[in-house]
Structure 1
Amino acid sequence: MTSLFDPLTLRGVTVRNRIWTSPMCQYSVLDHSGVPQTWQLVHLGALATGGSGIVFTEATAVNPEGRISPRDTGIWTDEQAEAWRPIVEFIASQGAVPAIQLAHAGRKASTWPAWGFEDRHGTVPPEEGGWRAVAPSPIAFGDDDVPEELDLAGIERIVADFRAAARRSVDVGFRILELHAAHGYLLHEFLSPIANHRTDEYGGSLENRARLLLRIVTAVREEVGDDVPLFVRFSGSDWTPGGWDEQQTATVSGWAQEAGADFFDISSGGIQTGVRIPLQPGYQVPFAEHVRSSAEVDVSAVGLITTPQQAADIVEGGSADAVMLARELLRDPHFPLRAAHELGVSIDYWPPQYLRAAWRD
């Protein structure tokens, strides 16, 4: 039986436990430069000192138009990459593995940040720092502006941008990369028949809808070599009849593994508005379990995982190989340290500055 605190080795990287920090949007680049700020250092650094095995960045855009909002981080320039370096070095100094989620928002790009503009919704206009979004098909997300359909040259640029972002990421010390193919963003848009109405080689059949993702997996693996683990985040379901589902996720996960991916981070939703999702503790775990058993790949589960025992049960019961935590880590960045105490596990990675506060039996 695998324990929540057993290490896990993926290619050339060993992770100290199975409790990992999920990518979480922060919308904190206030100058719109895409350059990570002091906020990212403090936010991600606290999660590293708190005992997470892997600390993922927020969704980080591979080109300017790939940002969800003008306040997102990026890694399409050398200046942005170098600004990530001290953050990466601090995460690693605390024994956690620094990881980056590489993303393109597709038709959900150029939207108002989730905080600071409570009276503004939808697409940011060009005169206020916005831009025209791109997508597989000219179909708007909700009330957002209609995106521009990517032509074949645009698709080639997307592949090249992911490759270049992967190179910059490993050059500044990120040890794990994740491709964001979930939550209604560009790669998910290509996968889902709800957002992809193309009639060329990137639309129609599952093989065609998966083509862009698999090309990017192949390109990134070629770029970074054999030692860097590559994750893919999928939405396990669109929660809509006729949409993307867990079996398609499992099938494409198998293809992605053959193309060079190593691990699959299973979430759900995000492709359209108005969807009713039955939220309850661990509500997405069945998707992860299905992908793990059907495709025989390694997966993590995420979503309303809030207690140490719940996290332990997911891993020890074989539903997933690890858990990703998000909001619970915002409430308690030291959840992994607390979980070890509550579950009776001895660990040796309390920060020495905090040892006076360690729980004692």
Structure 2
Amino acid sequence: MKTILNTPYSFKNLELKNRIVMPPMCQYSVTKEDGTPTDWHYVHYASRAVGGTGLIIVEMTNVEPNGRISANCLGLWDDAQIPAYKRLVDGIHDNGSKAAIQIAHAGRKATHIETPVSASETPVEEPTKFGPVRHPRALSTEEAEEMIIKYQETARRAVEAGFDTIEIHGAHGYLIHQFHSPGINKRDDKYGQDLALFGVEVIKAVKAVIPDDMPLLFRISAREYMDGGYGIDHALEMGRRYKEAGVDIFDISTGGEAPPGQDKPGNYPGYQVSFARRFKEELDVPVIAVGILDEPAVAEMTLQDNSADLVAVGRGMLNDPYWAIHAVKALRDDVEVPKQYERGIR
């Protein structure tokens, strides 16, 4: 039986051998606190390429040192870091997968500095695993404009490192999300009067330095779970603006902005797929679905019913670097196995 999961997918110059995506998942494994990938990162990503994944998105990679969640997170704010990322890309390519990178700024969720920055002074409401609540300061208009250039420069470096595509992180309560969230953004300048503007300007700045035929991905939280948080209609409006600015493919998640209020996120297979379907249908764009898609049949059905174009499996790939191979085999489709492992994967 031929599965959709195991069929190729292409958009612009991005050609994937299957519909399986490894989403960005922080490793907190930078050892010198300089943001540069280590041998751990190389082995981590190359092994998932050996495991048959079509697209591997390198974890949240930050545009400045103070934009990291922790001091052990990745960054790409200096040209001197490019060779280490090129090594990651080469390891992914050499083992048959395509490489993406997620560029971001943690904003008020940065925990290794005393006073992080944000759209406004609205703090996160509870301590994180990295430490106590931090009370952010609002970026000035000029600082916000300078931050946009930092996203652009990080994108330029990612292109130089050889990445096949770039994902801008606008979800999970990080800086762009903080700007487009009505519950967090309390500004009165142009970035408060137009909640999409900061994200739009980041997108346009990134588009200016990537090849014309390179697709641009954008991760967005389709709803918030804090009391009074935005819902899917607001997310779709932000998405329309972002599409007009140049986003090609949306990576649809939810939440992450604050502790959940009365409404809680789901905890069942495919709980976020309906949000991906709304984006796909209403914005007429390709989408990546996420959210407990570890069971191969669930991932396949998400594609079969046209809810998404690609499926991302996060925790499943932390558990099993060869998830893609095992999933395709479980669905009784033909799958290529590295010759070195043919004796073990039958």
Give the TM-score category using the shorter length: over 0.9
What is the DSSP-based 3-state SS (H/G/I as helix, E as strand, rest coil) of the residue aligned with 1:202? Answer: helix
Establish whether residue 353 from structure 1 lines up as the match of residue 336 from structure 2: no
Note if contact 1:247-1:291 (Cα within 8 Å) is conserved in structure 2. Answer: no
Note if contact 1:94-1:351 (Cα within 8 Å) is conserved in structure 2. Answer: no
- Residue-by-residue CA offset, 1:110-135 (whole Å, 9 max, x unaligned): x2xxxxxxxxxxxx4xxxxx342100
Note if contact 2:33-2:71 (Cα within 8 Å) is conserved in structure 1. Answer: yes
Aligned partners of 1:326 and 1:340: how far apart in 2? Answer: 16
What's the offset of the Cα at 1:246? 1.6
Aligned partners of 1:336 and 1:317: how far apart in 2? Answer: 20
- Give the match for residue 238 of structure 2: 252
What's the offset of the Cα at 1:152? 1.1
Aligned partners of 1:256 and 1:145: how far apart in 2? Answer: 29
- Give the match for residue 237 of structure 1: 223
Establish whether residue 132 from structure 1 lines up as the match of residue 115 from structure 2: yes
Aligned partners of 1:4 and 1:254: how far apart in 2? Answer: 28
167, 178, 181: which one pairs with 1:178? 167
Note if contact 1:181-1:233 (Cα within 8 Å) is conserved in structure 2. Answer: yes
Aligned partners of 1:249 and 1:50: how far apart in 2? Answer: 34
One-letter code aligned to 2:52: G
What's the offset of the Cα at 1:241? 5.2
What's the offset of the Cα at 1:303? 1.1
Which ranges in structure 2 are unaligned for 5 or more consecutive residues?
127-132
What's the offset of the Cα at 1:85? 1.0
Deviates more, 1:159-168 or 1:1-10: 1-10
Give me the TM-score of the superposition, normalised by structure 1.
0.90
Give me the TM-score of the superposition, normalised by structure 2.
0.94
What's the offset of the Cα at 1:272? 1.1
What's the offset of the Cα at 1:341? 1.1
- Residue-by-residue CA offset, 1:227-282 (whole Å, 9 max, x unaligned): 21110000111024542222222222232222211100001111112433232111
Write the mapping of 1:313-352 to structure 2, written as runs, cut at 5 A: 313-348=301-336, 350-352=337-339
| Runs of 4+ off more than 6 Å | none
- Give the match for residue 120 of structure 1: none
One-letter code aligned to 2:141: L
- Give the match for residue 180 of structure 2: 191
What is the DSSP-based 3-state SS (H/G/I as helix, E as strand, rest coil) of the residue aligned with 2:287? Answer: strand
Note if contact 2:227-2:260 (Cα within 8 Å) is conserved in structure 1. Answer: no
Write the mapping of 1:56-67 to structure 2, written as runs, cut at 5 A: 56-67=57-68
Which ranges in structure 1 are unaligned for 5 or more consecutive residues?
112-123, 125-129
One-letter code aligned to 2:341: Y
- Give the match for residue 99 of structure 1: 100
Aligned partners of 2:227 and 2:311: how far apart in 1? Answer: 27
Note if contact 1:194-1:271 (Cα within 8 Å) is conserved in structure 2. Answer: no
Aligned partners of 2:88 and 2:211: how far apart in 1? Answer: 23
What's the offset of the Cα at 1:151? 0.6
- Give the match for residue 279 of structure 1: 267
